[in-house]
Chains A and B, each alone.
Chain A
């Protein structure tokens, strides 16, 4: 099993969700996040005083999938989240040792 984490632009969330549902991925967790990469934020001006806002709003999407589905899921996220502009975000995957479904106690790939 793999844990896929994607940090993307908030307004791409719906597209990412739809793309994963089409792949048959039925559960995910979304967290509001702040961060910056090469984009380095932006400038805002209040009554003439400039503020450098370097932490920009992002969403972090986390989803656990079987090993065989990981590449396809990552591709789907990348396609759905891409705008081609700076600040589109990152997607990465790490191996997962074990998963338990809380309600039933199922373990391993069945619990995903």
Chain B
């Protein structure tokens, strides 16, 4: 978030609405919302045929669940005036109280600001589903998402972006579009939840290769497209900073893709489509906090480092025995850390507008690097611990994990009474002879 908006937010001032800024943020909000269906496809292609619908549902239902809690209390707690020591906002705007079409945040309508922020909260919750794919009880996910959004996402968003937040405004850590709030929060939470729920039956023994790589690539493409709004919109203005963020986002996705493919060619002998999709996403993850504070060369470096590092990080789970099924840790946590930390090296005052906010490579000294590292440690520790607690509590109260039989049959059939694909001539099924649920058959 640019300093001018933050200052205006902090001072509670309402500068005049700017129609250009508003037009761009309206478009950017739609772009970010599309990322969650994109993520659903990205994840859906990676799981086996028997649980692909469940994977898609975990993302889609997050849109609905997070929207409700965001409007009820989430927005107010995250972006309302600070209520306590930069840790949490107040409840003055619970249920959107006191906000009307005339309310302005920065230079855009407050309704638009809160909707844009809402789309970030949605995808962050949906991201976690990748670590617990194929085995989570659907009812438990319906409870987890709203609780997690309120107890984990909302405080961290306040720390980093909220008025008076201790990380963004007091400490001075830079996180332009969500390296801490989105990527590290979802990655550390994903690790915590997959540790609570345990590995899939057959982890490291059965072949669990992605069932539909074209779907994965389609999803990655939609994510990339939406990410231009995610990062470009985080300038909260239709200006040069938005344009620079947009270009940096494209560049880092490209160098991430190339970095991952380079490792695969050298290490495994073949550049893969899955590697291309994963590398692009790793680069995009890493540039998220940095897109508005580094130059184009910095963006290229951030993406490349993320592509290379994440291509190794996705193998950690096999050595350390945690079943982060779709690599939320290896891509989002690790990529988020890479991007957030590299700001300490590559931040430049031509982007940040202040020589006090410059990285080591641009003459800024180690100060910014320290602020970045401290924020990474704090957000990772908080999100991991609280998510672990939520997971344990849900497991005690209602059971977090589907039964072994349901898991082996596939959650599509057992949780949703559907199957994604019509396999072969014998798989069509037949209408039941007796109308079900008391309805008259058509």
Measured CB to CB, the residues of A under 8 A from B are 32, 44-51, 53
Q: Say yes or no for B272: interface residue by CB 8 A criterion.
A: yes
1/0 per residue B270-302: CB within 8 Å of A?
101011001000000000000000000000000
Residues of B within 8 A of A (CB): 207, 209-210, 264, 267-268, 270, 272, 274-275, 278, 311-312, 314-315, 318, 327, 330, 424
CA distance A50 to B314 in the complex (A): 13
Report whether A48 and B270 are in contact in the complex, using a CB–CB cutoff of 8 Å.
no
Evaluate contact between A51 and B209: CB separation under 8 angstroms: yes
Question: Do A46 and B272 touch (CB < 8 A)?
Answer: yes
Partner of B272, one of A32, A45, A53: A45
Residues of A within 8 A of B268 (CB): 45, 48, 50
Residues of chain B within 8 A (CB-CB) of A53 are 207
Contacts A/B (CB < 8 Å), 15 sampled = A45-B270, A46-B274, A47-B274, A47-B314, A47-B315, A47-B327, A48-B264, A48-B267, A48-B311, A48-B312, A48-B314, A49-B318, A50-B268, A51-B209, A53-B207
Residues of A within 8 A of B274 (CB): 46-47
| Cα(A49)–Cα(B274), bound, Å | 12
The A interface, classified by DSSP as helix, strand, loop or mixed, is strand
In the bound complex, how far is the Cα of B209 from the Cα of A53, in angstroms? Answer: 10
For B278, what are the chain A residues with a Cβ–Cβ distance below 8 Å? 47
> What's the minimum C-beta distance from A73 to chain B, rounded to whole angstroms?
26
Contact between chains at B210 and A46 (CB < 8 Å): yes
Task: Note all chain A residues with C-beta closer than 8 A to B267.
Answer: 48
Contact assessment for B318 and A47 in the assembled complex, using a CB-CB cutoff below 8 Å: no
Q: How far is the CA of A49 from the CA of B210 in the complex (A)?
A: 11
The smallest beta-carbon distance between B277 and chain A, in angstroms, is 10
Q: How far is the CA of A51 from the CA of B318 in the complex (A)?
A: 13
Q: 5 smallest A-B Cβ distances: which pairs?
A: A47-B314, A45-B268, A51-B207, A46-B209, A48-B315
A51 to B274, CA, bound (A): 14
Q: Are A49 and B315 in contact (CB under 8 A)?
A: yes
Interface centre among A44, A46, A48, A49 (most CB of B within 10 A): A48
In the assembled complex, the Cα of A49 lies from the Cα of B313 at a distance in Å of 12
11 other contacts beyond A47-B315, A47-B327, with CB at 8 A cut-off? A44-B209, A45-B264, A45-B268, A45-B272, A46-B272, A47-B275, A47-B278, A47-B311, A48-B315, A49-B318, A51-B207
B327 contacts across to A, CB distance below 8 A = 47
Tell me, in angstroms, the Cα distance from A46 to B264 when the chains sit together. Answer: 10
Residues of the A chain whose Cβ atoms lie less than 8 Å from the Cβ of B330: 47
Q: Which A-chain residue is minimally distant from B278 (CB atoms)?
A: A47
**Which residue of the partner chain A has the closest CB to B272?**
A45
Which residues of B sit under 8 angstroms from A50, Cβ to Cβ? 268
Q: Shortest Cβ distance from A63 into chain B, in angstroms?
A: 19
Q: How far is the CB of B325 from chain A (nearest CB, A)?
A: 11
| Distance between Cα atoms of A53 and B208 in the complex (Å) | 11
- For the complex, give the distance between the alpha carbons of A45 and B330 in Å: 17
Report the bound CA distance from A47 to B207 in whole Å.
13
Closest B-chain residue to A50, C-beta based?
A: B268
Cα A51 to Cα B211 in complex, Å, equals: 13
- Which A residues are in CB contact (< 8 Å) with B209? 44, 46, 51
Contacts of A44 in B (CB 8 A): 209
Question: B266 CB to closest chain A CB, in angstroms?
Answer: 12
Query: Nearest-CB distance from A72 to chain B (Å)?
Result: 31
Residue of A nearest to B312 (CB): A48
| B270 contacts across to A, CB distance below 8 A | 45
Q: Tell me the bound Cα distance from A45 to B311 in angstroms.
A: 13
Q: Which residues of B have CB within 8 Å of A32?
A: 424
A50 to B315 Cα, complex, angstroms = 11
Shortest Cβ gap from A31 to chain B (Å): 10
State in angstroms the CA–CA spacing of A45 and B314 once bound together: 13
Instruction: Determine which residue in A32, A44, A45 has the highest number of CB atoms from chain B within 10 A of its CB, and name it.
Output: A45
Give the Cβ gap from A10 to chain B, nearest Cβ, in Å.
15
A48 to B310, CA, bound (A): 11
Q: In the bound complex, how far is the Cα of B327 from the Cα of A47, in angstroms?
A: 9
